[in-house]
Amino acid sequence: MIALMAILKSLVGTLAMAIILSSLGAALISAQAIDILDNQKIVDLVKSGFGDDVLIGKIHQSRVLLDASTNGLMQLKEAGVSDAVIVQLLERARLDGFAANGPLNEYRVIPYGTELKVLVREKLSSRKLTVGQKLTLEVAEDLTVNNTIVVSKGTPVAAVVVDSRKSGMMGRSGRLAISIRSTTINNGESLRLRAGKGGKDGDNMGSMFALTVIFGAPGLLIKGTNGQIPANSIVVALVDETKYVKTVPVRP
């Protein structure tokens, strides 16, 4: 009987794993199947003779990157794209994509999860910091996308203390957690950030930093006599959104 139960448990575990793997595979196939539509692709579909019903169905299944400027919309209209399709393009770009105010080649994309190195100039310690205290860090080096500097070295980075506990009696360790919030793109727009891995400049100190969630905010957790981040530490933050930046290349 015991052997039979073990076999059944093994079968159930195998079946559960198969279901999970199947679901993951389906999700990956679905993600890979998502097409990206832009102005030119829509024009090409119209010229191929596809009607509004087909085009609208395709739009609903795709991610739309749209030149929604006056000139862009006029060019769609002149190519024979109907008002109904244009309305669907605008709506889909808002929900899943991007509506540009000009030709798409004038934009640079900062993908979600892009790494951005952040410099902590002064030592941060739980002995002095309090929860809710705002901090100003800075970008450690230029963030470049397609030969374009989109965030310059030295740009301020907003952060906030989300947990701070001094060391105490009985060997209780101090604790410090900060949430990295945002910086500013060179065109003046805000760029959302979140904390990532980190280490001290020039040293392999990544083990001092661990991702955690405190009060619902991603932060950096450091344990020691007092929780602290050493001066001149480099923290690797991550871009917390997909951002389209209208800019002009500054490098050949």
pLDDT at 175: 76
Half-sphere exposure of 43 (CA within 13 A, CB side): 13
Mean pLDDT of 170-179: 69
Contact yes or no for 66/100 (Cβ under 8 A): yes
In this predicted structure, what is the pLDDT of residue 226?
A: 58
Extract the tokens encoding 126.
Answer: 């739980």
Confidence band (pLDDT; 50, 70, 90) for 162? confident
Kindly state the average pLDDT of the residues 166-171: 55
Q: Cα–Cα distance between 99 and 67 in angstroms, integer?
A: 6
CA–CA distance, 92 with 69 (Å, rounded to integer): 16
Mean pLDDT of 207-231: 47
pLDDT at 84 over 90: yes
Q: Tell me which amino acid residue 6 is.
A: A
Q: How far apart are the first and last CA of the chain?
A: 74
Comparing 169 with 241, which gets the higher pLDDT? 241
Domain 109-246 CATH assignment equals 2.40.128: yes
Q: What is the pLDDT of residue 168?
A: 53
Average pLDDT for residues 38-59, to the nearest whole number?
Answer: 95
Copy the structure tokens of residue 212: 């955690």
Domain map (residue ranges) of the chain? 35-102, 109-246
Is the pLDDT at 158 greater than 60? The verdict is yes
SS3 69: coil
pLDDT digit string, tens, across residues 213-223: 323 334 555 44
Cut 0.95: pTM above it? no
Distant-in-sequence, close-in-space partners of 19: CB < 8 Å, separation ≥ 6: none
Q: Cβ neighbours of residue 86 under 8 Å, at least 6 residues apart?
A: 73, 76, 77
